[in-house]
Every structure is written in structure tokens, then in C-alpha cells.
Structure 1
């Protein structure tokens, strides 16, 4: 992403940001984004949502449940819709070709990345979960599924898309990185208490 200062849209001084989000096997969403204040605020809200969910955190092979990952992705729909409704048309204005808006990016990521994953895998996982014996725990049962690795791979592809979106949202919001873990440096304590 590159940015240039000094572009004016809607009477406000804005940064121009170049955005490119690759969606595997589908398309690449991209263009120049000159956000207005409402888009910066909406970007912050969606960024916080993405940064605090498993949606942008890599799911290790022996970590978490696939059901939880799908459920977390599903909630991104509701949150995104709520943000779009709250900020209204100001986050999806008409722009010239080669330009994007918060609305264009958010809706396209939902429809081209998350929706296909959920519509394919939710019923498949639900059918497998229905076969679980009463005395079998959900974690063991899920890890025995012969399609679990395939689903994890597709969740990883969507995670990368959402991470790319989150990075663009972060740039527009103009905030620090909340996704990359940074452990605060510990100051060693000496014997004299200093």
C-alpha cells in the first residue's frame, strides 16, 4: 500500500491509499481509496472486529475447532452489515473506475471470500458433526474427519484475504497494528530492587 497526502474528496483532506486484496481462485479487488471521515471510522470498527477474532489469526493444525472458526467467520457478516447500515451511503459513494470504497471492499470480501466458504463447508461439517456418537468428544471427532485438513486450508485462504483487508483498514484508520503480537519488553529486576 502506498499513500499520498493532499487529495481532497468531499471537502476533506484525505490520504490516497492503493489497495489490492487477492481472493484465491476468484479475483483481485483493488484500486485507489481516498477515504472520507466516515470510511475511516467504519474502517476502525471493522478492523477492531477482525483483529479480535480468530478470523485473522492463523489456526494451527492442533488448535481450535473448525466449527468455532466457521462461526467466527459467520459473525463477520452481521458486524459488517451493521457497520454499513450505521454509516450509510457515505461509506459507499460512487467513485470513478480504478477507485474503491469501504463499502466496495467490505461487501466484495464477504461475497467473494467468506460466503463461498460458509455455503460450502457449513453443511458438510454439520452433516459430519451429526454422526458423532454421544460418548465421543467434539474435538476428537472433528480431528478424525477426513476433510478437516481441506477445510483448514480453505479457512487459511480466507484468513489471508481478511488479513489483507485488515491491513488496508488499519492504514485507512491510521492506527497502530493490533494484529501482530508484540510482547512488551520486560525490565529485569536487580537484587537491589532497581
Structure 2
């Protein structure tokens, strides 16, 4: 059964603001929501990044790639999914651009140059993994990545409801080590 409308309430990280209103998606918006949902669920963007897991560089790169994915989806579906948020009306385009510019852009514009600077100082005899994990700002970046992960998880939940596949979000935290042999 298709969703007629959805009340959207999303708090942006770092005290930037909120997105709220009613989203009444049409077929194009449902399809765009599905495409963006797949992008979010198949990246580190909505998965918890434990302290000894992954690389911060890879996490930032993955988040940055969401700009290209979002642009491609917006180009595919055109202006009909990108109307302005007027009078409490939320559209796919408005939500997508607000998430990028209000959630991802502040994180990436702050941390990308700081991490590049740190990476450029790596001694030749040290692995990039060890060098990154020894960075004094690594925990701070991980904390901010977690704030953005929470935002993107909320966003993914909204998209999942709109496209009718919210249950896939539960697969994000799947860990093979949690399977029982019973």
C-alpha cells in the first residue's frame, strides 16, 4: 500500500536547524526515494563505525560521493521532485539538498582539509591505517561522523517509508558474527 503523506521532522547536526513539514510523494518522488535509500543503505553512511573499524578517509569519501549520487537522482527525476519547501510542504528534492548542505557539507568542509593535512605528514615507514588511528583528532572526527550517521539514518528511515521498504534499514547493522550455529 502506497503512503499518501508523511510528517517529516529532521534535526540537522551541529545546531544548524530543522527540516519539518508534510511530504505527499508522487510516483517520481517514490522512485527517487528508493534510489537514494539504496545509496544510503549500501554505504558506511548509516552504519555505526566502531573505533577500530574502517578508515576515516574512506568514511569521508563515501559521504562525499552522496553529493554525486543525489545530483544524478535529481537530474533523472527533474524539477518535479525538487520544488521549494513552501508552507510546510516537503519534497524529495528539498529534503535531499537540505540534508547535503545542512548535514554533510559542514562536516566535509571542516574535516577533509584537516585529514589531508594529517595524511600528508605520514612518515614513509608507517601504514596509513596506523597513522590515521594515531591522529589526535580521530576521536573528534568519529564523534562528528556519528552525528551525521544519526541524521542519515533518520533520512533513510523517511525514504524507506516513502518507497515502502523501510524494513531494509534493519539489515544495516547485520553482523555475520552475530549469527547462531543453532
Q: TM-score, normalised by structure 1?
A: 0.85
Using the alignment, how far apart are the partners of 2:107 and 2:70 within structure 1? 17
After TM superposition, list the pairs within 5 Å mapping 1:1-194 onto structure 2: 15-24=4-13, 25-94=15-84, 96-181=86-171
Closer/same/farther in 2, CA of residues 178 and 128 from structure 1, 3 Å limit: same
* C-alpha distance in 2 between matches for 1:71 and 1:17: 31
CA 1:95–1:118 in structure 2 vs 1: closer, same or farther (change >3 Å)? closer
The structure 1 segments of at least 4 consecutive aligned residues displaced by more than 4 Å after TM superposition are 185-188
TM-score where L is the length of structure 2: 0.91
For residue 177 of structure 1, give the secondary structure of its aligned residue in structure 2: helix
Q: 2: distance between equivalents of 1:102 and 1:162?
A: 14
Q: Tell me the distance in 1 between the aligned counterparts of 2:125 and 2:147.
A: 33
Q: Give structure 1 stretches of 5+ with no counterpart.
A: 6-12, 189-194
For structure 2, list consecutive stretches of 5 or more residues without a partner in the other structure.
none
- Secondary structure of the 1:30 match is strand
Aligned mates of 2:85, 2:11 — CA distance in 1: 21
Who wins on radius of gyration, i.e. which is larger? 1
| Structure 1 residue 176: Cα displacement | 4.2
Total equivalences in the alignment = 177
RMSD between aligned residues: 2.1
Richer in strand (by share): 1
Partners of 2:123 and 2:10 in 1: CA distance: 42
Partner of 1:146, secondary structure, is: coil
